[in-house]
C-alpha cells in the first residue's frame, strides 16, 4: 500500500481540494478536522453523506440528500453522581420532566430520574425560554424537546418556541432555532427515534380556540421550523400520547367553548403524513382529560385522570399495534391528573401531577408495563412543592425508540 504525507492540498483560491477515491485511510493519531460553519451557512448543494461541524449547536451533522441531521450518540447507561438526598443512583434509561405549576408558581425547572432505580428526582437545569406549563414534549434516544406552552400567568402568553436538552448531560435548555407553526399550549406530543409530533392545543388570544392541527419536526435537525403533518379527528387540547416506532396514539382531551371532555383515542403513522384515524375509547368511566401517558413499543398506558369533575386513580392500557378500547390495568396510590410520564422498555413512571383544585402531588409512582397491577412508590420530586400539574415528561427509552 502506498503512503503519502502531505500537509495541505488546495486549489488556487484556497477554497477547495482534491477528491479522494478508492479505499483511503487516515492514520493521524490526534484528530480529524471536518468543515465547519453556522446553521445559516449550511450548504444545500452537497452530495448525501457530506459531513460538517455546526458551530451553533456544537454537533457533527450530515446531509441525507434532503436536510442536515445531527449524529446521535446513544447511551442507555446514564447513571451519574446523585445530587438530591435520598436518591439511589444506578444505571439505566433517564426520564425527564420539565415545567408545570404548583401552588406557589409556574416552574422552569427540569428534573430527571434513573427509571430502573428508585429514589427522588434530581435537578437537571432550567428552561431558558421562560417559565412554562402546558408544553409538548418529545424525545429521541439522545435529545429531549419541549415546545409551546404558556407563561407564568397560565392564561396569556402562549408561545411557539422549541427548546431542547441532551439526555447524557445536565444543564439548561438550548433554543432549537425554529418554532411551531402557531403559538399554542396544552399540546399532545409523541415521537419515534427521529420525528416528533405535536398535536392539537389551545390558545386564549385573540379568542379562545382549540386546534386539530398536528405539527412535526425532525429532532436532530435544529433550525428547521415545524411543518404540517395533518389533523386530529376534531379540534381539542390535552390529548396525551403514547407511541411505538411506527404509530402514535392521542387519547382524551377537552374542547372549547364549553370545556367538553372526550374519551376518544386517535392514531397516526409517524413516518407518513395524514389525518388521524379512530383507534377506540378510554373506558375509565366517561369523558376524560389530564391522563398521564407511559408505555413501551407494545403497550400504551394512561394513568389517573379528571373524569368530568371527579379526580381518578384509574390506570388503563391499550395494545398499540391493534385498535380497540382501553382495558383496566390497576390503580395509582394517589388520585392525580396532569402528571409527567416517562418510560423505559419495562417500567413507566408517573411523576407529580395534582388535583382539579390546583393542589400538587410531590410523590412519584411507577408500574411494570408488561404486567397489570397498582402503582408502587418511587420517590419524591426534587422541587419541594412538586412540579405539580401540566409538567411534561419524556425519556430516552420510550416505546417509539
**Local structure of 280: helix, strand or coil:** strand
pLDDT bucket at 85, cuts 50 / 70 / 90 = very low
Nearest to 197 by CA among 129, 133, 272, 255: 272
pLDDT digits (tens, 9 = 90+) for 258-316: 677 888 999 999 999 999 999 999 986 555 678 899 999 999 999 988 777 788 899 99
If asked whether residues 391 and 357 sit together in one domain, one would say: yes
Q: What residue numbers bound the domain in which 42 lies?
A: 36-70
Residue 76 lies in a domain: no
Chain centre to alpha carbon of residue 88: 25
In 3D, which of 274, 306, 270 has the Cα closest to residue 290? 306
- What is the average pLDDT score of the chain? 84
Say how many domains are in the chain.
Answer: 2
Q: Is the pLDDT of residue 103 over 80?
A: no
Nearest to 283 by CA among 322, 260, 246, 312: 312
Q: Which residues sit opposite 61 in a β-bridge?
A: 52, 70
**Does residue 292 fall inside a structural domain?**
yes
State the pLDDT at residue 18. 65
pLDDT higher at 163 or 234: 163
Residues 367, 234 share a domain = yes
pLDDT (tens digit, 9 = 90+) per residue, 57-76? Answer: 677 888 888 878 777 655 56
More confident residue, 228 or 359: 228
3-state secondary structure of 58: coil
Do 47 and 176 belong to one domain?
no
Q: Both 63 and 165 in a single domain? A: no
CB 282 within 8 A of CB 307: no
Higher pLDDT, residue 365 or 89 = 365
Whether residue 59 is found in the same domain as residue 178:
no
**How far apart are alpha carbons 87 and 109 in whole angstroms?**
18
Name the one residue in this structure whose C-alpha cell is 402568553.
Answer: 157
Domain check: are 131 and 59 in the same one? no
In the predicted structure, residue 102 carries a pLDDT above the cut 80: no
Longest Cα–Cα distance in the chain: 78
> Is a pLDDT exceeding 50 seen at residue 16?
yes
User: Is 122 in the same domain as 261?
Assistant: yes
- How much is the pTM? 0.83
CA 287 to chain centre: 25
Distance CA 261, CA 278 (A): 16
Q: Which three cell numbers stand for residue 296?
A: 413501551
| 101 in the same domain as 51 | no
Average pLDDT over residues 186-205: 93
CATH number assigned to the domain comprising residue 346: 2.120.10.80
Tens digits of per-residue pLDDT, 135-154?
999 999 999 999 998 875 54
**Residues 50, 155 within the same domain:** no
Check whether 7 has a pLDDT greater than 70: no
Tell me: pLDDT of 105 over 60.
yes
Give the separation between CA 47 and CA 27, rounded to whole angstroms.
Answer: 25
Is 160 found in the same domain as 40? no
Amino acid at each position: 500500500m502506498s503512503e503519502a504525507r502531505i500537509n495541505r492540498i488546495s486549489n488556487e483560491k484556497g477554497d477547495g481540494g482534491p477528491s479522494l477515491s478508492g479505499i483511503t485511510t487516515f492514520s493521524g493519531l490526534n484528530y480529524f478536522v471536518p468543515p465547519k460553519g453556522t446553521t445559516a451557512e449550511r450548504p444545500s448543494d452537497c452530495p448525501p453523506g457530506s459531513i460538517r461541524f455546526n458551530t451553533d449547536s456544537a454537533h457533527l451533522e450530515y446531509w441525507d440528500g434532503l436536510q442536515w441531521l445531527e449524529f446521535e450518540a446513544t447511551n442507555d447507561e446514564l447513571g451519574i453522581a446523585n445530587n438530591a438526598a435520598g436518591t439511589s443512583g444506578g444505571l439505566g434509561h433517564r426520564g425527564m420532566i420539565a415545567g408545570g405549576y404548583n401552588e406557589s408558581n409556574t416552574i422552569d425547572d427540569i428534573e430527571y430520574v434513573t427509571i430502573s432505580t428508585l429514589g427522588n428526582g434530581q435537578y437537571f437545569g432550567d428552561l431558558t425560554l421562560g417559565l412554562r406549563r402546558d408544553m409538548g414534549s418529545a424525545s429521541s434516544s439522545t435529545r429531549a424537546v419541549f415546545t409551546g406552552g404558556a407563561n407564568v400567568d397560565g392564561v396569556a402568553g402562549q408561545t411557539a418556541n422549541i427548546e431542547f436538552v441532551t439526555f447524557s448531560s445536565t444543564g439548561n435548555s438550548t433554543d432549537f432555532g425554529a418554532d411551531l407553526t402557531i403559538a399554542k399550549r396544552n399540546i399532545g406530543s409523541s415521537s419515534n427515534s427521529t420525528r416528533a409530533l405535536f398535536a392539537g392545543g389551545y390558545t386564549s388570544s385573540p379568542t379562545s380556540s382549540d386546534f386539530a392541527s398536528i405539527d412535526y419536526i425532525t429532532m436532530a435537525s435544529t433550525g428547521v421550523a415545524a411543518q404540517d403533518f395533518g389533523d386530529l379527528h376534531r379540534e381539542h387540547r390535552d390529548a396525551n400520547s403514547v407511541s411505538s416506532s411506527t404509530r402514535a396514539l392521542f387519547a382524551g382531551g377537552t374542547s372549547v367553548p364549553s370545556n367538553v371532555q372526550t374519551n376518544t383515542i386517535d392514531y397516526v403513522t409517524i413516518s407518513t403524513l395524514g389525518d388521524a384515524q379512530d383507534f377506540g375509547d378510554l373506558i375509565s368511566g366517561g369523558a376524560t382529560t389530564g391522563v398521564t401517558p407511559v408505555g413501551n413499543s407494545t403497550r400504551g398506558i394512561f394513568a389517573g385522570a379528571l373524569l368530568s369533575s371527579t379526580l381518578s386513580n384509574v390506570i388503563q392500557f391499550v395494545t398499540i399495534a391493534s385498535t380497540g378500547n382501553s382495558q383496566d390495568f390497576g390503580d395509582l396510590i394517589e388520585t392525580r391528573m396532569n402528571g409527567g410520564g416517562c418510560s423505559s422498555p419495562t417500567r413507566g413512571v408517573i411523576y407529580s401531577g395534582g388535583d382539579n383544585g390546583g393542589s400538587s402531588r410531590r410523590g412519584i409512582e411507577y408500574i411494570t408495563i408488561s404486567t397489570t397491577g397498582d402503582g408502587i412508590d418511587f420517590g419524591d420530586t426534587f422541587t419541594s412543592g412538586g412540579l405539580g400539574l401540566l409538567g411534561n415528561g419524556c425519556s430516552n427509552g420510550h416505546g417509539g425508540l
